[in-house]
Amino acid sequence: MLGMEHILLLSCGTSPQVVTETLWALATYRKIVCTHCYILTTPTGYTLLQQSSFHKGWKRLSQSIGHPLPPSLPLDSVSIIEDFDTNGFADRALELVHRLTSSPETTLHVALAGGRKHMSVLLGFALSLLGRPQDRLYHVLASDDYIASGAYFPGEMHDSQSVQLVEIPYVRLRLRLHDLFDGNASLTYSTLVATMQQELDLMSAPPTIMLDVPCKRLCIGNYYCISLSLLECAVYAWAASAAQPIAWGKHLTDAEWQRFVKIYRGVQKLHRHNRNHLPSTPQTETVGWLCKPISNIKRKLRKTMPKAFAERFQLNTEGPYGRKHLVAPPNVEIIVPEGC
Judge whether 69 and 23 are in contact, CB under 8 Å: yes
- Any idea of the CA torsion for 234, 238, 239, 245, to the nearest 10 degrees? -160
- CA trace torsion 149, 152, 158, 160 (10° rounding): 140
Residue 321's closest CA among 250, 263, 216? 250
- pLDDT for 179 equals 58
- β pairing state of 217-220 and 224-227: antiparallel
208 touches 333 (CB < 8 A): yes
Rounded-to-integer distance, Cα 308 and Cα 119, Å: 31
Spans of the chain, pLDDT less than 50: 1, 340
CA angle (322 as vertex; 321, 326 as ends), nearest 5: 85
The stretches of 50-188 forming alpha helices (DSSP H) are 52-65, 86-100, 117-130, 144-149, 174-177
Q: How far apart are CA 66 and CA 77, in angstroms?
A: 22
Task: Give pLDDT tens digits for 127-160.
Answer: 999 999 999 999 999 999 888 888 999 876 677 7
Pairing of strands 246-247, 325-327: antiparallel
pLDDT value of position 340? 47
DSSP state of 330: S
Pick the CATH number of 5-179 from 3.40.50.720, 3.30.565.10, 1.10.1270.20, 3.40.50.10770: 3.40.50.10770
* Three-state SS at 6: strand
Please state, in angstroms and rounded to a whole number, the distance separating the CA atoms of residues 46 and 65.
25
Which ranges constitute the DSSP H helices of 205-278?
A: 230-240, 254-268
**C-alpha span between 208 and 202 (Å, rounded):** 9
The answer to whether 40 and 12 have CB atoms below 8 angstroms apart is yes
Distance CA 9, CA 232 (A): 48
Quick one: angle between helices 254-268 and 230-240, nearest 10?
Answer: 130
Whole-model pTM?
0.70
Domain coordinates of the chain in residue numbers?
5-179, 208-335
> What's the confidence (pLDDT) of residue 158?
74
pLDDT of amino acid 111: 96
pLDDT of residue 1: 47
